[in-house]
Amino acid sequence: MLKSMTLEIAKNLTKEVTFRGFRGVSASAFTPVAKSSRGKVSVSIVKSNVLGAIFYSIVSFSASVPLGMATYAKVPAPEVFSVSLTVLVGFAFALSLMQVTPFTSTFIREGLVDLLRLLPLTDSQILKAYLTALFLYWGGLSLAFIFVPFFIVSAYVAIQGFLPGTYVLLGLLAALATFAFSYSLGIALGSYSYAVRRRASLRVASTVAWLVSFMMMFLLYRASSIMMEAAKSLEPVLSTWGALIPFVGPLFTLPNPLLTLASLGESAVLVAVAYLLARRRISAVFLGGAEFAAVKAVPTKKVRVGEAGLSVSGLTWSMVRKDLKLLSREPRRLANMLFLVVLPIIMSVPTASSSNLMARYSTYMVFFMASFLGAFSGLASDNVFYVEGSGALLLYHLPISKRDVALAKALTCSLITAPISVAVVAGTSLYLTGSPALTLYAAGVTALLNVGFSLLNSSVTTSMLPDTPSEWSEYSFRGSMSTRFARTVVKLTILGVGVGVPIVLMLLAPFLGASLTMTEAILTAYALASLAAGLTFLHVAAGRKPL
C-alpha cells in the first residue's frame, strides 16, 4: 500500500516537474521525460530510462573498447582502465548534475514541495517520494548504464589476467562515490534556485557550471584521446599528484599505499561534505517549507519608493533590457546560448593555431573564423525566445508587432554573442597575422554576420510562434506536420548556409587560386548579403502583424 502510494506520488511529481519545467524558463533538452506535441506528459519507469540506458551503454561500451584490446594487444590495461574510467566518471558527474539540479530546482521553485506538504504525508514520505521520482521516473536508473558495460568488459579483462582485481574494485568504488557526490551536490545546488535568481555571484557560478557541463558533453568524443595524451605526458606527476583527483585518484597512485589511502580519504571527505550539505538543505527547504527557507535565504533588495523613480526607455531597448535581465537570472538558458558561441570557438581555434597552417593559410584561416564564428553565434537567438517561458503570455497583450519582437530578440542575441565572437576572431587574427588592418576587417565581418544571422534566425522563429497567447519553449512551434517540416527545412537551410558557406569558401579559395583581395570581396559580399537577408526577413517574415 505504502509502496504503491510512494510510486504514485513520485510518478505524478515527475509529471508535474516535467510539465512545469517545459512551461517555465527551466525547460531544457536534458529532461529525460518527453512531452508530446499535444502537451501531454507520459511517465513510466521504462520510458524514462530506456533511451538513456541505450545511449549511455553505447558510450560506456565505446570507452571500454581500448580496454578490451588489452587481451590481445600490447596495451597497458591498468593505465587504459584508469583513463577511460576517469572520462566516464566525468561524464557521469556532469550528467547526474544536469538531471538532479533542474529537477530539484523546479520542485522547489514551483512550490511542488508545498503542494506535497498539504497532503497528509510525513516528512519521510515526502522525501521518499521525491527520491523515488528522481531515481526511477527522472532517468536516474539509466545513469548506471554509464558504467555497466565498462565494468563487464573490465571484469572480463581482469579474469583474463590483464588487469589486477584491485583496479576493478577501486573503479567500482569511484563510480559509486561519483553518484553519491553528484546526486548530493545536485540536490543542494537545486535547492538554492531561489537564491540563484537573486545573487549575481551564484548566477555567474551557475552559468559557468552549466557551460562546462555542455562542453564536457561535446568534448566526450575526444575525451579519451585527450586524456590518454595527457596521462602519457603527465605520468610522473600523476603518480603523486594524481591522488588529488577526486574518486579516481587511487587508480593513479595504487603502487603507493599511503597516497592511495590519502586519495581514498579525500574522496570520502568530498562525498561526506556533499551528503551533509544535501541533508541540511533537504531539512531546511524540503521539510521546513520552501517559502520559509527562501525568504530566509534570499535578502530582498530595499527600494525607497519615495526616492526611486522608474527608468522608462524606448520600446526596443526596453524589450532588450528585459531579455538581458531574464537571461542573467536563468543561468542554464544563458549557458545554452553561450555554448553556441563557445562551440565554434573550440571547433576552430585549435586548428587555427596549429603551426602547420600558420605559415601558408593564416589569412584564409582568419577569414574562415570570422565568417564561421559570426554566422554560428548569430544562430543562438532562439534561446532569447525560450527564456520568456510563461512570461510570453504577457507579450500577446501588449501593443507590439512581430517585427518588434524579432528585432529585440536579435539585438539581445547580438549584444551577448557578438562581443565574444569578435574578441576571439580579433585575438586569433592578431596572433596569426599580426596585422591590425586585417584584424579590424575580420572583426567587422564577424559583427556583420552575427547581426545578419541573428536577425534572420529571429525573424524565422517569430514567424513560427503560436498565434494565440502561449508560453514559449522548444515546444511552442505551431502548425501542421507539413508546416513544421517546411519550417524546420528553412531553419536547417539557414544553419547550413551559415556554417557551410564559410567552410567551403575559405577552404577552397586558396586552392582555386582566389587572391586575398578577391576572397575579401566575396566575404564582404557574403556578410552584407546576410545582413540584407536578415533585414528582409524581419520585414517579410516577422512583419507589422500584432503578436
Partner 1 sequence: MPGVEYVNVWKYYGGKPVVKGVNLSVKEGEVRVLLGPNGSGKSTLFKMSIGIVRPEQGAVKVDGVNPAEDPISARRIVGYVPEDPLVYESLEVTEYLEFLLSVYGVRPPRERFAAVIKALGLEEHVGKLVGELSHGNKRKVMLAAIMLRDPQVLVLDEAFSGLDVGSARAVKTWLREKAASGSAVLVSTHILPIAEAIADRITIIYEGRIVAEGTPEELRSLEGGKELEDIYLKLTGYSSEVEELVKALAT
**Comparing C-alpha atoms, which of 92, 73, 72, 69 is closest to residue 81?**
69
Q: Which of residues 207-266 bind partner 1 (CB under 8 A)?
A: none
Position 294 contacts partner 1 (CB under 8 A): yes
CB of 191 to partner 1, least distance (A): 16
Minimum CB distance to partner 1 smaller for 38 or for 74? 38
Q: How many CB atoms lie within 10 A of CB 42?
A: 12
Minimum CB distance to partner 1 smaller for 23 or for 35? 23
Minimum CB distance to partner 1 smaller for 336 or for 519? 336
Q: In whole angstroms, what is the distance from residue 545 CA to residue 547 CA?
A: 6
Residue 355: exposure state from Cβ atoms within 10 A (0-12, 13-18, ≥19): exposed
Minimum CB distance to partner 1 smaller for 204 or for 518? 204
Q: In whole angstroms, what is the distance from residue 32 CA to residue 22 CA?
A: 12
Minimum CB distance to partner 1 smaller for 47 or for 322? 322
What three-state secondary structure class fits 468? Answer: coil
CB of 95 to partner 1, least distance (A): 26
Position 197 contacts partner 1 (CB under 8 A): yes
Minimum CB distance to partner 1 smaller for 311 or for 482? 311
Question: Binding segment for partner 1 among 47-55, 118-126, 145-153, 309-317 (CB under 8 A)?
Answer: 309-317
Position 120 contacts partner 1 (CB under 8 A): no
Contact of 242 with 253, CB cutoff 8 Å: yes
Contacts with 432 (C-beta within 8 Å, 6 or more apart), sequence order = 352, 353, 358, 362, 363, 365, 366
Position 546 contacts partner 1 (CB under 8 A): yes
Minimum CB distance to partner 1 smaller for 79 or for 388? 388
Position 303 contacts partner 1 (CB under 8 A): yes
Angle formed at CA 138 by CA 136 and CA 142, multiple of 5 degrees: 70
Minimum CB distance to partner 1 smaller for 318 or for 483? 318
Cell 602519457, residue located: 232
Among 122, 233, 311, 480, binds partner 1 (CB under 8 A): 311
Q: At what angle do helices 77-109 and 165-190 cross, to 10 degrees?
A: 20
Q: Which of residues 313-352 bind partner 1 (CB under 8 A)?
A: 313-315, 317-319, 321-322, 325-326, 329-330
Q: Which of residues 11-40 bind partner 1 (CB under 8 A)?
A: 24-25
Q: In whole angstroms, what is the distance from residue 295 CA to residue 226 CA?
A: 46
CB of 471 to partner 1, least distance (A): 11
Binding mask 457-496 for partner 1 (x = CB under 8 A): -----------xx---------------------------
3-state secondary structure 354-382: CHHHHHHHHHHHHHHHHHHHHHHHHHHHH
Contact of 395 with 384, CB cutoff 8 Å: no
Q: Which of residues 124-183 bind partner 1 (CB under 8 A)?
A: none
CB of 307 to partner 1, least distance (A): 8
Contact of 126 with 116, CB cutoff 8 Å: yes
CB of 294 to partner 1, least distance (A): 7
How many residues sit close enough to partner 1 to count as binding (CB under 8 A)? Answer: 44
CB of 86 to partner 1, least distance (A): 37
User: Residue type at 10?
Assistant: A
Position 305 contacts partner 1 (CB under 8 A): yes
Among 4, 300, 480, 482, binds partner 1 (CB under 8 A): 300
Buried b (16+ CB within 10 A) or exposed e, 270-296: bbeebbebbeebbebbbbbebeebbee
Q: Which of residues 364-423 bind partner 1 (CB under 8 A)?
A: 390-391, 393-394, 396-401
Q: In whole angstroms, what is the distance from residue 195 CA to residue 507 CA?
A: 48
Contacts with 241 (C-beta within 8 Å, 6 or more apart), sequence order = none
Among 2, 302, 350, 356, binds partner 1 (CB under 8 A): 302
Binding site for partner 1 (CB under 8 A): 24-25, 109, 194, 197-198, 294, 298, 300-303, 305-306, 308-315, 317-319, 321-322, 325-326, 329-330, 390-391, 393-394, 396-401, 468-469, 546
